[in-house]
Each structure stands twice: as C-alpha cells, then as structure tokens.
Structure 1
Amino acid sequence: MNKQVLATVNGFEITKEELDLLLQHAPAEQKMQLNTLAGKKYLLNEMITQQMLYLDAKEKGLDQDQEYLKELDVLGQNLLKQYAVKKVLDTVVVDEAEAREYYEKNPEQFVKGPCVRAKHILVKEEEQAQNIFKEIKEGKKFEDAASEYSQCPSKENGGDLGEFEKGKMVPEFEKVAFELEIGIVSEPVKTQFGYHLILVEDKKDKKDIPFEEVKNTIKDYMLKMKQNDTYKSYADGLRNQYEITTNEELLK
C-alpha cells in the first residue's frame, strides 16, 4: 500500500496512517468530534506542531541535557520492565481441552438457577395500586395499565422486566414473583420502592449452561490465573539469582 503523505516538515513525512492511529486512540469523549474534516485538520496541525517542536529541540541540543537523559533513562527502564513481563506472559496459553476440563470439574459454577420472566407496575401509594389492580381485574390490559400508571422506566415496555434469577430483585418482590402462577396478577406488593403489581409470564427450572456458552469466559479466567502463577514463579526464581537487601523499617 502506498503511503498517503498528509504533510512534510523539513522532509519528515506525516502520513494518513499515523493520523488515523492517533484518532483511533483518542479519548472516547473526543473521538466523535475529531472524526470530522475539521477535527482531522486540527489533528494534522497538532502533528505538524509536535514535529516542529521535536526538530527545534534537536537543533538546540535539548536531547543532550542531563535532566532529559535522566528522564529518558527512567522511561527506558520502565519500558524494558513492561516488555520483560510481556515476554514472560506471552508464553502462557489456555487451550480448549483445559477449559473443558475446568468446566467438567466445576459443574456447580455453570448452572443457571430457576428464573422467571415478569412484568410489573410500580406506584407510590397502596390505594392507587389497589385501584389499578381492580381495573385489571375488570378487563384492563396489564401492559396498558403499566404504560399509564407505572413510575418505573419499564413502563415504556408495558412493565416488562425481562428474565431474572433469584437474588436479582429485592426480597419482597422476588418471593412473590417466584411463587406466583403464570398469567396471574399479584395483589399489591410493598417494597422500599413503593407498591408493585406483578404479572409472571414464564418460569424456567434450573439448568446447566452449555460449555460453548462459557468457553471463552473460562479461558479468560484460566489465562489470568496462569499468568499470575507464571509471573510469581518467574519472579521467585529471579530472587535466587540476585542479591537483595531491604530496609523495611523506612516504610514506617
């Protein structure tokens, strides 16, 4: 691919690829604004300015200042440390067989508990909840009542809360939701948020989560664990090769 040169400064080329890379790593809150013609022109101007500053500093010999060389040495040391860690961790891999073995040895971690799919209507006063309950009993659709009366954002979807397992809702709400029969609207249920009318639309029993659904999660988890172990083991090995003294009393 031919380089697309956007500008030159004393013969030094600034390419579109470099600008695109800079744009790619821009903070999320700035990216939209910078990814416009005006934004790209601004970035290009900044790249030109930075290159001029670099050339100016070189001409003035600032790259030979002792303070600069000291900072450069510290940066170089830190970069080498990071690179050394990367080289150690790059040797660590987790294959599918290892992930499957972990899955089979820890079945309790990959179970989806009983869950329900429910809708609700939330209001502040019990009297209003009772009146809405009466309207529904007399034929008003639950979804219409939710859209009209509910003070929960779910009103936009007819009160739909989607599917949830135990432990996801406040105890008073959860107890009723899991005990309620499908298609039956509950009496008003009081919680810290107010009074709820609950309609359960579906229930599912506890089931095992298939390996394919959690394979990548397992591999990511095992990779982190193996990397931690590898890092610690490697560092412990290095301690046997170097003379180390500490003055921990200075930490006080």
Structure 2
Amino acid sequence: MSEHLAVAVVNGKEITRGDIMKFLNDMGPQMAMQFQSPEGINRVIDEMVNQELLYLDAVENNFEKEEEFDQVLQATKVSLLKGYAFNKLISGVTVDEEELKMYFNDNKHLFNQPEMVKASHILVADENRAMEIVDELEGGMDFEDAARSYSSCPSSEVGGALGEFGRGQMVPEFEEAAFNMELGEISAPVKTQFGYHIIRLEERKEAKDASFDDSREEVEKQVILRKQEAKYMEKINSLKDVYKVEIK
C-alpha cells in the first residue's frame, strides 16, 4: 500500500499513510508497539486529526504572533541548532579496519566474556516459610508456579526469572550461592538483606577470551564514539579561542 495514500483529510489537507508511519516512528519502538493493531492505527489517525484541528485553530487565532509563542519558538530554534551543529560535526567520523584491530588488541580485556549465570528465585520474608516452599518444590511443585504464587519479588510475574548476570551484580550472599550451584539445582534458603531466596540455576556460561570477529561490532561503536568525542572537544577548544568564556 502506498505511503502517499490518504487516510484522512482535514480542511483540504491530506493525512497520509506515510504521515502515520512517521508519527509512530517518532514515538519510539516501545510506545509504537501499543498502536500496531487496526484499532491502534485508528486511534493514531484520530489523534493526528485532532492535532491538525488544533493547529488550524491556532493559526486562525494568530497564536504565532503572540510574544510568548515567539519566546518558545526562539528557544526551540536554539536547541535544534545546537543539535544540528553537533550532528553535523560528528557525521563525517569514520574508522578503518586497522584502527579497529589496534583498539581491540590494546583493550582486549574489555571484551572478554566473564563467567555468567542465569537464575530464577523465589523471595520470601520468613525462613520457615522458605523451608515450606522448598518442601513443596521437592514434592513436585513447579518452580515458576511457586514463584508466581509465593515470591514477593517483581520477578514473580515471570516465574522468578532474573535473567543473566555476572559477578558483582547481585548481593554477595546471593552471588556466592548462584555461582556455586549445579545446573537445575534448587538451593536451600539463602538469607540476604532482602529476605530469604530459593534459587534455581538455569544456565552457566564459562569465562571466554574475546575474538576480534565476535567483538567487532562493539569495538566499532567504541572507537567511533571515542573519535566523535575527540572531534567534539577539539572543536570546543578551538571555539574557546574565538568566544569569551567565563565560568563563575
């Protein structure tokens, strides 16, 4: 279907399918997901019609001639111009393969894969209650069901899943237990400042040295960012020789 196809007309101005797509893209992916259904698209069309009506009313009432609007317009222009100048400055930054490999070799430790585990847990306030839940699990109760029914952690909504984490990301008692468990093992209650955790180890990834090929995408991001920052500061320092700066 053509993006130029009109989905609504307000006072002679067409709102097209392309306008709808741009409206959704400007929302960002997470927000736009809420409007992907036919009903959601209709809500977007209604809102775009509403905004166009509001714009026509503003023009009719000469809002653009008001002093307050001019102040907002000038502030918006300044903000946009700053962003445009920054993007224009860094847009030409590129890197070659030799730069990437040199950066990787000098910073290889940053890309090494540390030991990681994936775990789920059930969190309760009382040790006796934790022991009762362990007994239920040993009796065959499903761990995810137990987490949804008993856990006070927000992760209960996803069956207690905590996702993947490395050392230093959890409180010490929890980390010590999780990294010393066998796959599929369910722990005895582990006490932390938050209460008593029943942990199940889902997955383990051993530490692994990075390779350039596996790390190339992240290396490129970091090198480009560093070059952009350097170019930005070089420009700023040169401008300080042109314009007077006082910091009070």
TM-score by length of structure 2 reads 0.68
Q: Deviations over 1:119-163 (max 9, x none)?
A: 544433223334454566xx523x536634742565677655454
Q: Are the counterparts in 2 of residues 144 and 158 from structure 1 also a CA contact under 8 Å? A: no
Query: 1:200-215 to 2 correspondence within 5 Å?
Result: 200=201, 203-215=204-216
Greater alpha carbon shift after TM alignment, 86-95 vs 182-191: 182-191
Q: Are the counterparts in 2 of residues 96 and 219 from structure 1 also a CA contact under 8 Å? A: no
- Root-mean-square deviation (Å): 4.3
What is the rounded CA distance, in whole Å, between the counterparts of 1:200 and 1:158 in structure 2? 13
What is the deviation of 1:233? Answer: 1.0
Q: Are the counterparts in 1 of residues 117 and 165 from structure 2 also a CA contact under 8 Å? A: yes
Helix, strand or coil for the counterpart of 2:169? Answer: coil
What is the rounded CA distance, in whole Å, between the counterparts of 1:160 and 1:182 in structure 2? 15
Compared with structure 1, are the counterparts of its residues 45 and 193 closer, same or farther at alpha carbon in structure 2 (3 Å cutoff)? closer
Structure 2 residue 149 is matched with structure 1 residue 144: no
The structure 1 residue matched to 2:45, chosen from 36, 40, 48, is: 40
Residue identity opposite 2:139 in structure 1: K
Residue identity opposite 1:168 in structure 2: Q
Partner of 1:50: 55
What is the rounded CA distance, in whole Å, between the counterparts of 1:7 and 1:132 in structure 2? 62
Query: 1:1-252 to 2 correspondence within 5 Å?
Result: 3-4=4-5, 6-7=8-9, 9=11, 13-16=13-16, 17-18=18-19, 20-26=21-27, 28=31, 32=35, 35-37=40-42, 39-51=44-56, 53-54=58-59, 57=62, 79-133=80-134, 140-141=139-140, 144=142, 147-148=145-146, 150-151=150-151, 152=153, 161-182=162-183, 185-200=186-201, 203-240=204-241, 242=242, 244-246=243-245, 248=247, 251=248
Larger Rg: 1
TM-score by length of structure 1 reads 0.67
Q: Are the counterparts in 1 of residues 118 and 202 from structure 2 also a CA contact under 8 Å? A: yes
* Structure 2, gaps ≥5 residues long: none
What is the rounded CA distance, in whole Å, between the counterparts of 1:115 and 1:194 in structure 2? 24
Number of residue pairs matched by the alignment: 238
Q: Identity of counterpart residues, as a percentage?
A: 30
What is the deviation of 1:165? Answer: 2.1
Helix, strand or coil for the counterpart of 1:164? Answer: strand
What is the rounded CA distance, in whole Å, between the counterparts of 2:71 and 2:189 in structure 1? 71
What is the deviation of 1:54? Answer: 3.8
Helix, strand or coil for the counterpart of 2:197? Answer: strand
